[in-house]
Structure 1
Amino acid sequence: MKFLSTVAVTLLVTCSSFAQSQAEITKHAQVYFDYMTNLNLDSVLDYMHPKVFEMASREQMKAGMEQMFNSEEMKIEFISNDVTSVTDEKEVDGVTYAAVFYNSEMKMTFVSEMDKPEEDRKGFLEHMKTTMDAQFGEGNVTSDLKTMSLIITLDSNMFAIKDPKYKGWKFIGNDDSMKQLVDTVIPESIRTELLNEK
């Protein structure tokens, strides 16, 4: 009986620590997403894994983001970014990894097309929707001719990394543009294990 009690307590403590670490990652990921939604770019960059800045410097990354979000031709805004689940952590050589799954809703408004005749606007928006359908999947993109905008809804994932070399949790998006970086930062076996865990 004493042995069973010990096992039960051990399991409870283990499950509790898993839940605590998942809650911690969820909290930081949501803060990261809130910064993204509110376009607090310096704070967004603070949460990015430092290796990202080997592709482009922090200053270049910020300038590129500012250009993208402040374009006179097209306005991009995040309507929402919500964490839907977080995997258990995996540790290798003192570095801890987890996968974060989330739902994102983004609005693209084509400001430069707004004053054009309706037929032109309609043709442009249909063309852009077809382009975005190919990139994000049909059914994930809706168009609104009145506001000249597309809304893209996406279920995606990213990796959370806690490395003693850096302060706190850092994030790397798991998409084609980041594939080369993800491959160098996260061991393949860990990536596969985490993504299959959902």
Structure 2
Amino acid sequence: MTKKVVLVALLAVGSFGLRAQQLSATDKADLNSTIAQFMKHTESMNFEGIVDMTHPKVFDLVTKQQMLSLLNGLSGMGFEVSYDSITNQEPILVAKNDSVKYALVNYYSEMVMKITKEEMKTKESIDILKLSLLNTAGVESIDYVEETSSLIVKGNKRLLAIKDQAYGDQWSAIEFDVNNPALNSMLVPTPILTKISEFIKKN
């Protein structure tokens, strides 16, 4: 269970006719507002806000309390995490049916991970940490600043925004990693995943 909690928490987001699909003005305004608020919560490390805006289906896998406990426990693991920059692109509607809409949101982030435990500041520990982070979706570069014992993690990532009438009228979001099909299949129907994968490959 601990492994699943870590996986879900850290992941804490058309050439085939999809570009013809359009959001209504109301949906677009609501989605842009949701994404802006989600990014604000992320940048300020407001974990409660992030969890509140996470797609409810995630909590079929882990409880809100488990996710919050893990996120709030990062400092106890030896890290102080902050963001220097988060910039998102315009959301793109990639699939919909009568009751559910899915939109992809690409975003760029620069995250600072300050190492606070002395035993984790060795070259071996830092190399292991860097390798682990490089295997995380969207991470493109990692620099270590020895003066501040900090890792600067930069990359382009994706959110998948979902508006599902089964859960109400609000948009919610999940981190979307094409390299994690097992988790994706627990949260998104296979036909939708196929459309999203095709869209990503062609754009």
| TM exceeding 0.5 | yes
Q: CA deviation at 1:20?
A: 6.0
Residues 45 and 111 of structure 1: CA distance in aligned 2, closer, same or farther (over 3 Å): same
| Larger RCO, structure (CA 8 Å, separation 6 or more) | 2
Q: Does the 8 Å CA contact 1:30/1:82 hold for their aligned counterparts? A: no
Q: TM-score, normalised by structure 2?
A: 0.73
1:7 is matched with none
Residue 17 of structure 2 is matched in structure 1 by none
Please list the CA deviations of residues 10-55 of structure 1 after superposition, one character each: whole Å capped at 9, or x if unmatched: xxxx999556644532331121121122122221111101111111
**Does 1:46 find its partner at 2:52?**
yes
Aligned equivalents of 1:132, 1:15: Cα separation in 2: 35
**Distance in 2, Cα, partners of 1:94 & 1:138:** 33
TM-score, normalised relative to structure 1: 0.74
Distance in 1 separating the partners of 2:138 and 2:178: 15
Map residues 94-113 of structure 1 onto 2, 5 A cutoff.
94-113=99-118
| Aligned counterparts of 2:108 and 2:25: Cα–Cα separation in 1 | 21
Identity of aligned residues (%): 23
Shift of 1:123: 5.2
Query: What residue is the counterpart of 2:153 in the other structure?
Result: 152
Query: How far apart, CA to CA, are the structure 1 residues paired with 2:138 and 2:187?
Result: 28
For residues 134 and 32 of structure 1, the distance between their equivalents in structure 2, rounded to whole angstroms, comes to 24
User: Could you say which residue in structure 2 is the equivalent of 1:82?
Assistant: 87
User: Does the 8 Å CA contact 2:160/2:176 hold for their aligned counterparts?
Assistant: yes
Kept in 1, the 8 Å contact 2:39–2:86? The answer is yes
Q: What's the secondary structure of 2:71's corresponding residue?
A: helix
Kept after mapping to 2: 8 A contact 1:87/1:99 = yes
User: Runs of 5+ in structure 2 lacking a partner?
Assistant: 1-19
Post-superposition Cα deviations, 1:42-79, rounded to whole Å, max 9, x if no partner, equal 211111011111111111111111102x3262212222
CA 1:135–1:47: 2 relative to 1, 3 Å: closer
Superposed CA offset, 1:111-133 (max 9, x none): 1128x9xxx74554345334434
Please tell me whether the aligned partners of residues 87 and 194 of structure 1 are also in contact (alpha carbons under 8 angstroms). no
Post-superposition Cα deviations, 1:146-175, rounded to whole Å, max 9, x if no partner, equal 111111111011211111122400111112
**What is the alpha-carbon distance in structure 1 between the residues aligned to residue 90 and residue 129 of structure 2?**
31
Maintained 8 Å contact 1:76/1:109: yes
CA RMSD of aligned residues (A): 3.1
Higher share in helix: 1
Deviations 1:74-117 (A, max 9, x none): 21222232212311353213111111111122111111128x9x
Deviation at 1:176, TM superposition (A): 6.8
Aligned length: 180
Which entry has the higher C-alpha Rg, 1 or 2?
A: 1
In 1: Cα distance, 2:65 partner to 2:141 partner:
32
